Structure 1
Amino acid sequence: MSEPDHGATLNTDDYRQALKSMDSFIDVSVEDLMTLTTRAKQFARLRVMTADNIASLMSQPVTTVHPHTSLSEAADLLVSRRISGMPVVDDDNRLKGIITEADFLRVLGVPPAQPIHSLWHTLENLFTRLSQHGGQEANDESVATHMASHVITAAPTDSVQTVLNLMKRHQVRRVVIVDDARRVCGIVTRSNLVKLFLDK
Structure 2
Amino acid sequence: EAEEARKRADESRKQRQAEVLAAFCQDAMGMSRSVLQAWREHLEAQKREERRSRERVQVIARLASDAEGELQVVLRLWQAHTARQKEELLAQRQREAEEARKRADESRKQRQAEVLAAFCQDAMGMSRLVLQAWREHLEAQKREERRSRERVQVIARLASDAEGELQVVLRLWQAHTARQKEELLAQRQREAEEARKRADESRK
Same fold (TM over 0.5): no
TM score, norm. by length of structure 1? 0.20
Structure holding more strand per residue: 1
Flag the structure with more relative contact order, 1 or 2, with Cα contacts below 8 A and sequence separation at least 6: 2
Rg larger in structure: 2
TM score, norm. by length of structure 2? 0.20
Structure holding more helix per residue: 2
